[in-house]
């Protein structure tokens, strides 16, 4: 959840302010550069992210995105009662809030994230969930280690090669395992990332996949976000070895009055903000 696609709307990215005084631009950014930028950005911004959003996320809830869709109601991972005893991998886990919810349902989650600082927040909150610091593109697990994998806005929007991540997820899943992940809804790419009325007019091409990059004075990326159209995401899921079971576009609920970066009740009532892909390993 971050960025303003390089359109001239100040330097308020999806997740908060840009303390790096970076220049926003649109240019290519490969896997290694994107990964390095994400690690640095999340290490520097984890404190602010958890401060600003920690109470909305809850220490042990499973929230799919700024709309507040809760797995306890959505059941996208399958019936909560069926989670007991499952080995679950949470990718881009941040402070591992979702993993704590899974553990409370009797699952055996592992929370993986690229950012050391995010995982320190997981330690601060506590619980028994194992934490792994690693890149989603190179998962440090044996083949067939997990029954289920999930991610709430973790890793997928920030990687240059999502198919590589999906293939890794497929490899570590057991046959028939589910992979459920949420990302910024692709349609948002065409709009300024602003919560107010200025965020309601198309300002860029939905079809332009050039990454959004914030870079320092030496031209080094300090934040990268990658865009895939809805069709790209479906093709990536299939190329990664999955069947797509459902594509969920949570509606903005009346109880939710919060603004989170470019997500707001105003925009949420008119255009989707989150896409959740429910996939199953194709055997």
Count of residues that bind ligand SAM according to CB under 6 A: 21
If one asks whether residue 107 binds ligand SAM (CB under 6 A), the answer comes out as no
If one asks whether residue 152 binds ligand SAM (CB under 6 A), the answer comes out as yes
Binding string, 207-246, against ligand SAM, x = CB under 6 A? ----------------------------------------
Judged by beta carbon, residue 91 or residue 237, the one nearer ligand SAM is 91
If one asks whether residue 113 binds ligand SAM (CB under 6 A), the answer comes out as yes
Position among 24, 77, 114, 172 found at the interface with ligand SAM (CB under 6 A):
114
If one asks whether residue 18 binds ligand SAM (CB under 6 A), the answer comes out as no
Judged by beta carbon, residue 167 or residue 282, the one nearer ligand SAM is 167
**In three state form, how does the secondary structure of the chain look?**
CCCCCCCCCCCCECCECCCCCCEEEECCCCHHHHHHHHHHHHHHHHHHHHHHHHHHHCCCCCECCCCCCEHHHHCCCCCHHHHCCCEEEEECCCCCHHHHHHHHCCCEEEEEECCHHHHHHHHHHCCCCCEEECCCCCCCCCCCCEEEEEEECCCHHHCCCHHHHHHHHHHHEEEEEEEEEEEECHHHHHCCCCCCHHHHCCCCCCCCCCCEEEECCCCCEEEEECCCCHHHHHHHHHHCCEEEEEEECCCCCCCCCCCECCECHHHHCCCCCEEEEEEEECC
Judged by beta carbon, residue 161 or residue 282, the one nearer ligand SAM is 161
Distance CA 191, CA 274 (A): 14
**Site for ligand SAM, residues 83 to 102, rule: CB under 6 A:** 92-94
CB of 100 to ligand SAM, least distance (A): 12
**Site for ligand SAM, residues 37 to 76, rule: CB under 6 A:** 38, 42, 57
CB 53 within 8 A of CB 260: yes
CB of 81 to ligand SAM, least distance (A): 24
CB of 169 to ligand SAM, least distance (A): 11
For residue 259, which of 53, 60, 55, 74 has the smallest C-alpha distance?
Answer: 53
Position among 136, 139, 183, 276 found at the interface with ligand SAM (CB under 6 A):
136
CB of 268 to ligand SAM, least distance (A): 17
Judged by beta carbon, residue 51 or residue 243, the one nearer ligand SAM is 51
CB of 121 to ligand SAM, least distance (A): 9
207 CB burial (10 A radius; 0-12, 13-18, 19+): exposed
Tokens at 246, concatenated: 């459902």
CB of 283 to ligand SAM, least distance (A): 25
If one asks whether residue 111 binds ligand SAM (CB under 6 A), the answer comes out as no
Residues in touch with ligand SAM (CB under 6 A): 1, 35, 38, 42, 57, 92-94, 113-115, 118, 135-137, 152-155, 158-159
């Amino acid at each position: 959840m971050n960025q303003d696609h390089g359109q001239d709307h100040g330097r308020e990215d999806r997740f908060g302010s840009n303390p790096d005084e970076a220049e926003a631009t649109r240019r290519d950014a490969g896997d290694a550069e994107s990964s390095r930028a994400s690690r640095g950005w999340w290490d520097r911004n984890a404190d602010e992210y958890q401060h600003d959003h920690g109470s909305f996320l809850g220490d042990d809830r499973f929230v799919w995105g700024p709309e507040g869709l809760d797995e306890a109601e959505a059941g996208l991972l399958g019936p909560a009662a069926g989670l007991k005893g499952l080995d679950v991998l949470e990718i881009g886990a941040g402070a591992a809030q979702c993993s704590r919810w899974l553990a409370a349902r009797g699952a055996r989650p592992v929370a993986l994230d690229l950012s050391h600082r995010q995982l320190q927040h997981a330690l601060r909150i506590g619980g028994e969930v194992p934490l792994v610091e690693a890149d989603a593109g190179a998962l440090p697990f044996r083949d067939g280690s997990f029954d289920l994998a999930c991610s709430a806005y973790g890793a997928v929007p920030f990687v240059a090669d999502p198919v590589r991540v999906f293939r890794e997820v497929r490899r570590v899943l057991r046959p028939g395992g589910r992979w459920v992940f949420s990302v910024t809804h692709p349609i948002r790419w065409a709009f300024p990332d602003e919560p107010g009325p200025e965020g309601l007019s198309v300002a860029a091409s939905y079809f332009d996949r050039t990454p959004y990059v914030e870079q320092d004075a030496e031209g080094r990326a300090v934040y990268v976000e990658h865009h895939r159209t809805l069709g790209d995401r479906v093709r990536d899921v299939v190329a990664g070895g999955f069947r797509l079971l459902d594509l969920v576009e949570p509606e903005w609920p009346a109880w939710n009055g919060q603004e989170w970066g470019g997500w707001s009740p105003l925009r949420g009532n008119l255009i989707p903000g989150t896409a959740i892909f429910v996939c199953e390993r194709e055997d």
